[in-house]
Chains A and B, each alone.
Chain A
Amino acid sequence: MKIWVHSDVSDGRITDVTFELLSKARDLADDLGGADMEATLIGSGVASEAGRLAEYGAGTVYLADAPSLALYSPLSHVPLLVGAVELWRPDIYLFAATSIGSALGPAVAARLRTGMAAHCVDLRINDRKGLSALVPSFGGRVIGEILCPNSTPQMASVKPGIFVKKPQASSEFRIVKLDIPEDASDERRLVPIGIERRHPKGRPLSEADVVICGGFGVGNKENWLLLEELAERLGGAAACTRPAVDEGWCEENRMVGTSGQSIRPKVYLGFGVSGATHHVCGMNEACVVISINRDEGAPIFEVSDFRVVADLNRILPLLMDAVRPSVRR
């Protein structure tokens, strides 16, 4: 049996979600009673990154490294991966549900006429040695099991932050170079030109021990800015819910939930978060959940370890006083 993971690459570096997937692949391999763990890697100048995949257990890396592959394009990437699958026939193939993986994975699946489970929250091996993917639907209200019993590879995508990365080096390591077609005239139909990053304010949500989350109940932009300051002073990160984005208080890249990020901080401190399922699905891996909401019936309280039924304006100023540097009189 062979389990493959496609490397998610951003600015020439393999991203953490790839290692999270490899770590999960390790568990799946164990449940299968042993399986080869292998990875695919496409990019320009990424050969030096291949070794990092070995640290998380990849024994073989199928590599396509060429200047023309610096940026993702379906016209170049899809045929490369389809060709590799047809040659080496993995049984399971995992993708990161990132902006690229979400576009690339399903296209590869379609060309291979195989099945792909999207945005999985867990992956298991069932008693028929098949991949059982748990997939949320209706904003996380329902979790459904998706099987792919009659075709291979069994494909799945997983968002960053769902699994935990656990380094475990592979005992052997080799790189297999994929053939890169020379005539790329067809690819001119759609050409990637470049990437522009907007450097996000504050610490990435995935790295923060404390996440301060603001919901619709935050009430206004001024309060949101206080939450951001609180997060910064605590050395944490500020997150938000969909309604807070819709109100224009914060950027969508701060949003937690099924359509945003999945987080697993040590402490989640929520202000005015109602607790809609699609949000809860992104934060329920937090070790401790503290919620402040003036509505005692708010669903967030059902998924909280500590409940504070109060107007946030009674609590937030005190928290701010505590974390702000004292002013000498």
Chain B
Amino acid sequence: MPYNVAVCIKPVPDPKYYDRITIDPQRKTIVRSGIPTMINPVDKNAVEAAMQLRERFGGYVAAISMAPPDAREILREVLAMGADAAYLLSDRAFGGADTLATSYTLYKGLKKIELERGLPFDFVFCGCESADGATAQVSSQLGEWLAFPHLWNVFSIESVSPDSSGGRESFKLRTKIENGFMEWVGRTPLVLGVSREMNKPRFTSVMGIMKAKNKPLTVWGLADFAEDDGHGMDSGLIGLSGSPTQPGEIFTPDLKRSGETLTGTPEEIVERIFAVMRSNGVSLVFEP
């Protein structure tokens, strides 16, 4: 059977340039000027997972993001990768959201898409964490808002034969754990935080880019979530004011050590390395 799939997308500053990020000491803000924005890398694995599911079973894939208006570009890329539609939740009121307020806003967005299409979502895919904040919390929290079972760090999904009751496929899922994996059997709806081992995201094709031009990209602000249709947003749960966590001080850690440069012949250097180990309590009894 075909599945309705949502993929959550986060635009992040390109991780290649994180060593360039500084803090404005006066204003206590993060300076990231000149660093390009890109789709959070592991979100592409989430998109790929959604694509593969659609190729296998048919269905519909919507990309959704809560981000500033210029995230349109990122969503166009997801459309070019193959998503059917994209939704951008963008409003000043959403700004400053922590993971709880973010997952609430995404939840409301997903509910509104369901309402407009008249079809509930079966799967919600997220990247398991973002490159910038790296809290890894949104997928689990979105699962709680939606009241869908949720798994984090999923690296494999395959369908197992439909069970006798409803004709719906069950899915065998695997999540990464320390030194191994855990196996699950689940039925839709599910929220899955996808890891980078899940798949290799496809490259955007030229044809995909051309098709993306004509795919719908909808932008919703707070005003689009009217209270009276039953899907209004509780303004106490969005943005900075709806976030239980609040940011305090920020600083760049000073990890510098005053180092000594070891010079001499390679033999002398190696002798010094062993000496340093010994003087720091490493017993140098070489194991056979």
Contacts and interface: CB of A to CB of B under 8 A. Distances in A.
Interface of A: 10, 71-72, 74-75, 78, 97-100, 102-107, 109-111, 113-119, 126, 132, 135-151, 189-200, 209-210, 232-236, 252-253, 258-259, 266-267, 269, 276-278, 280-281, 284, 287-290, 299, 301-310, 314-315, 318-319, 322-325
A151 B242 CA distance: 11
Given A109-B141, A190-B151, A290-B273, A325 B285 contact: no
Q: Which 7 A-B pairs have the closest CB atoms?
A: A145-B248, A115-B244, A115-B245, A106-B137, A118-B135, A190-B149, A103-B152
Interface residues of B, number: 85
B149 A189 contact: yes
B130 to A, nearest CB: 9
Interface of B: 13, 15, 18-19, 21, 23, 30, 32, 98-100, 103, 129, 131-138, 140-141, 143-145, 149-153, 172, 175-187, 190, 193, 197, 243-253, 255-262, 266-267, 269-270, 272-274, 276-277, 280-288
SS class of chain B's interface: helix, strand, loop or mixed?
mixed
B140 A74 contact: yes
Contacts of B21: 138, 141-142
A145 B140 contact: no
Given A194-B182, A308-B262, A106 B246 contact: no
A277 B247 contact: no
B123 to A, nearest CB: 13
Contacts of A145: 247-250
Contact of B244 (A105, A150, A289, A305): A150
Contact of A318 (B140, B144, B145, B267): B267
A258 B135 CA distance: 11
5 contacts: A106-B136, A115-B243, A142-B21, A234-B284, A288-B276
Contacts of B284: 234
B259 A304 contact: yes
B13 A269 contact: no
A232 to B, nearest CB: 6
A304 B262 CA distance: 11
Nearest to B274: A322
B19 A276 contact: yes
B125 to A, nearest CB: 15
Contacts of A102: 136-137, 140, 152-153
A58 to B, nearest CB: 23
B13 A196 contact: no
Contact of B248 (A132, A151, A301): A132
A143 B257 contact: no
B175 A196 contact: no
Most buried by B among A99, A139, A199, A284: A99
